[in-house]
């Protein structure tokens, strides 16, 4: 008789035990955090998942197959829950399923090691199935989310029959203004580079400004510069206002003017976004400073430099410069600065300045001033809280403090004699309780001023009593637009950080697109009441996504997604105009770096199409008691107690009842808590006011958790700074993204035609010009400290091969 031996139990593998320990360690924070999330009226999933993972881990450690079955049930339940919460949104699947899918694959491979586990054949079959799922997920990852292409034909006619798309003040080959033309359209009539040949672009030359952060100083660099080109000169401004003239065909330096700006004068950012060209009507052609470059500096001077020699214009101000600190009262270096190009209208230089945010209520003035373009002599001041007083303050007096400032590029209409000033809000950006009626009327508004007198002609406001820092960062674009009768009227395109686009009559300031005042949430601060309504541009597509929900919280794993859900439930959030609060944090979405910022739009008048890249980046903020701020040693930068070594997310907002804590809405892995995409590019047809196409802008190659590079060319859509340009060749060019790329995009389809990786971050708006019959594309690659892109001093030029 043959006695069959009883099979011995399988010995638990050390790998199974290790996996079991991982399950328990991963499940514990899910269990604890999930319980807390339930107390905040959040999802029950995390507590249940944590409990299931812990029990599964315990059973696996005991070498019990039931542990695998419990995990399988959790995995299936997670898939069903993901479908319910995220549907087809791929990025919603990543934090919910990616880690568990990896766990499932490892567990499937270890099944033969578990007592009464599956056979090796079954194990390999399950593993193969999961690998196929990973491949499908990878394909989905490379398929851009939120892409859209309309079936509508691309328009081929301008909005009105008398639309002027070429600027008679410059040659087609030039880029004379910051926005290319006097209307700031960022449109070039050049078409040598087109949709058929843009893929052949190659580098022509690289120029280096030599302006980089000192080795012993913090990096504040973000050049953000767009050069100008007039005739045989290409004029470039470095991060600290050094000016160069270079040869447009070779990039060879012809001369350099050093501004003398010191590091201590750098505000939040060392940037010189643009230069302004002016031809004198007094100095004869051929003499020094007949043509000149004018720039406002970081240390508040107005400089005029001869275009031919690079020498200061001695007849301008005092030896070529004007002191813009005159009348400003007490301040310290870096509190006020000019980073944007000045406007020159009716031979008047119109200049405003940025005032550092959230320092104190009675910060230096936001006054706008006019100076004679020939001599630099003061002409007028528009000072919000000194109505009727257009002269410089007398000795012992100063411009009114804490008033709304304009830190971005204005634009002028020479024919109408008006300059259009995009305004920010008053000092101490997130508290409005002590603002005057006059301040509230002009904050976050476009103000039309008479360029010769400084008189206010009209005001169009985009945010009432702004406490969200939704200042107007974009340069408006001038255009012709049909009124209700179809007649062409002088109009203006106003982009905003909310993603709203307003179109107004630039003669009267009256809206040409439909604007509605809609009710918004009321605040609970008795000393700082909110406006009951806000203006919305209801017939123009908003460049943004719907309001956030708990389901849209993101991360790379269930753990950081759980943290983001907890932070979301801990905060106040009632949509785009959620009021500031002191009892708990509040969420600003799309945030004060959302929508369109200083990069502005590009507008093709031939087709009536806008090209716009935009952001979708939430911020997390909370008002603080004065004691809470001061206990950390946080004071205004002009205070005797200010300590520059204290790095904090807190802001003092001195001379108000509150301080502020503000930062991006981050997960523990330094990824934004909202689902991607974070940056988009869109084309809008102004004939129909519809989106023609829309795509995420930017890949994940140089971005990732904890600021690590992933090297994955996934079109995730990145935060971006800098704007687009558009050409008659049917191509839009844009850099701006944190993947350091510049791209050529077909304006009819949105398809990427070409890209190149820049030697540093391309947080700037490109430009294009023609010289000796060849068209060039030029971009400043200077990097950006806030965007965490590599710093540089490169000006890179491209052209087609001969």
Query: What tokens appear for 288 in the block?
Result: 């020094």
Residues constituting the chain: 802
Q: How many CA atoms lie within 13 Å of 235's alpha carbon, on the beta-carbon side?
A: 32
Q: In sequence order, what DSSP letters do the residues of 661-692 get, joined into one string?
A: EEEE-B-TTS-BSBPSP-EEEEEEETTTTEEE
* Closest-CA residue to 363 (of 394, 392, 391, 337): 337
Helix (H, G, I), strand (E, B) or coil at 780: strand
Peptide bond into 38 cis (omega under 30): no
- Cβ(556)–Cβ(669) under 8 Å? yes
Tell me which DSSP letter residue 178 carries. T
| CB-count burial class (<10 Å; 0-12, 13-18, 19+) for 208 | middle
Q: In sequence order, what DSSP letters do the residues of 485-550 get, joined into one string?
A: TS-EEEEEEEE-TTS-EEEEETTT--BSS-EEEEE-PPP--TTSPPPSEEEEETTS--SS-PPP-G
Q: Is 654 noted as a catalytic residue in this protein?
A: no
* Closest-CA residue to 404 (of 457, 351, 368, 450): 368
* C-alpha distances in Å from residue 579, one per residue of 121, 432, 524: 60, 11, 8
Measured distance CA(666)–CA(671) in Å, rounded = 5
* Closest-CA residue to 566 (of 96, 48, 36, 46): 36
Measured distance CA(740)–CA(406) in Å, rounded = 29
Residue in 167, 211, 357, 469 annotated catalytic = 469
* C-alpha 745 chain-centroid distance: 19
- Cβ(54)–Cβ(28) under 8 Å? yes
Measured distance CA(672)–CA(651) in Å, rounded = 21
Dihedral of the CA atoms 560, 564, 567, 572 (nearest 10)? 180
* C-alpha 84 chain-centroid distance: 32
β partners of residue 54? none
What residues are annotated to the active site? Answer: 469
């Amino acid at each position: 008789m043959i006695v069959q031996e009883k099979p011995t139990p399988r010995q638990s593998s050390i790998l199974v035990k290790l996996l079991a320990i991982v399950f328990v360690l991963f499940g514990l924070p899910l269990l604890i955090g999930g319980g807390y999330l339930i107390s905040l009226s959040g999802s029950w999933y995390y507590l249940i998942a944590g409990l299931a993972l812990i029990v599964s881990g315990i059973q696996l450690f005991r070498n019990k197959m039931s542990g695998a079955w419990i995990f399988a049930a959790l995995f299936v339940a997670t898939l069903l829950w993901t479908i319910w919460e995220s549907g087809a949104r791929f990025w919603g699947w990543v934090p919910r399923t990616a880690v568990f899918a990896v766990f499932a694959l490892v567990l499937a491979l270890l099944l033969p090691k578990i007592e009464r586990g599956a056979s090796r054949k079954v194990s390999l079959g399950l593993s193969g199935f999961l690998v196929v799922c990973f491949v499908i997920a990878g394909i989905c990852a490379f398929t851009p989310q939120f892409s859209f292409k309309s079936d509508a034909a691309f328009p081929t006619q301008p909005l009105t029959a008398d639309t002027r798309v070429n600027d008679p003040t410059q040659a087609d080959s030039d880029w004379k203004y910051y926005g290319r033309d006097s209307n700031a359209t960022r449109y070039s009539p050049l078409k040598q580079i087109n949709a058929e040949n843009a893929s052949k672009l190659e580098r022509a030359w690289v120029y280096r400004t030599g302006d980089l952060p000192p080795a012993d100083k913090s990096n504040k660099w973000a050049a953000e510069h767009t050069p100008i080109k007039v005739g045989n000169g290409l004029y470039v401004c470095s991060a600290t206002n050094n000016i160069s003239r270079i040869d447009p065909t070779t990039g060879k330096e012809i001369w350099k003017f050093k501004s003398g700006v010191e590091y201590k004068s750098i505000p939040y950012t060392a940037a010189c976004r643009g230069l302004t060209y002016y031809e004198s009507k007094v100095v004869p052609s051929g003499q020094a400073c007949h043509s000149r470059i004018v720039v406002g500096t970081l240390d508040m001077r107005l400089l005029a430099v001869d275009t031919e020699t690079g020498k200061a214009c001695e007849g301008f101000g005092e030896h070529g410069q004007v002191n813009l600190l005159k009348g400003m009262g007490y301040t310290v270096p870096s509190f006020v600065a000019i980073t944007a190009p000045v406007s020159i209208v009716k031979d008047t230089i119109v200049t405003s300045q940025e005032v550092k945010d959230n320092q104190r209520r009675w910060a230096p003035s936001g006054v706008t001033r006019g100076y004679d373009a020939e001599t630099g002599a003061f002409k007028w001041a528009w000072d919000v809280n000194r109505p009727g007083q257009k002269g410089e303050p007398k000795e012992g007096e100063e411009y009114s403090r804490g008033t709304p400032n304009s830190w971005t590029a204005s634009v002028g209409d020479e024919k109408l004699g008006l300059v259009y000033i995009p305004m920010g809000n008053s000092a101490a950006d997130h508290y409005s309780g002590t603002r005057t009626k006059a301040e509230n009327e002009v904050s976050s508004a476009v103000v039309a001023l008479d360029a010769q007198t400084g008189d206010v002609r009209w005001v169009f406001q985009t945010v009432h009593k702004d406490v969200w820092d939704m200042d107007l960062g974009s340069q408006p674009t001038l255009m012709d637009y049909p009124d209700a009768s179809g007649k062409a009227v002088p109009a203006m395109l106003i982009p905003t950080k909310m993603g709203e686009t307003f179109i107004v009559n630039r003669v009267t300031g009256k809206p040409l697109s439909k604007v509605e005042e809609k009710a918004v949430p009321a605040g609970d601060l008795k000393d700082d009441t909110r406006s009951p309504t806000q203006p919305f541009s209801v017939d123009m597509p908003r460049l943004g996504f719907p309001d956030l929900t708990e389901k849209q919280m993101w991360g790379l794993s269930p753990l950081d997604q759980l943290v983001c859900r907890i932070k979301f439930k801990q905060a106040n959030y009632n949509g785009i105009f959620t009021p500031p609060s002191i009892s708990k944090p509040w969420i600003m979405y799309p945030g004060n770096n959302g929508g369109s910022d200083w990069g502005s739009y590009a507008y093709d008048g031939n087709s009536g199409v806008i090209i716009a890249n935009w952001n979708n980046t939430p911020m997390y903020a909370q008002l603080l008691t004065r004691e809470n701020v001061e206990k950390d040693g946080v004071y205004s930068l002009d205070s005797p107690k200010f300590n520059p070594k204290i790095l904090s997310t807190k802001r003092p907002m001195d001379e108000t009842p509150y301080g502020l804590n503000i930062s991006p809405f981050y997960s523990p892995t330094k990824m934004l808590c909202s689902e991607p995409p974070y940056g988009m590019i869109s084309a809008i047809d102004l004939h129909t006011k519809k989106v023609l196409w829309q795509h995420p802008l930017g890949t994940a190659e140089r971005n990732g958790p904890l600021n690590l590079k992933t090297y994955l060319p996934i079109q995730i859509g990145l935060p971006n700074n800098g704007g687009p340009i558009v050409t008659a060749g049917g191509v839009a060019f844009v850099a701006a993204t944190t993947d350091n790329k510049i791209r050529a995009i077909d304006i009819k389809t949105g398809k990427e035609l070409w890209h190149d990786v820049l030697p540093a971050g391309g947080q700037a708006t490109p430009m294009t010009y023609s010289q000796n019959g060849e068209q060039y594309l030029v971009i400043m690659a200077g990097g950006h400290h806030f965007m965490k892109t590599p710093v540089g001093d490169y000006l890179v030029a491209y052209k087609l091969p001969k």
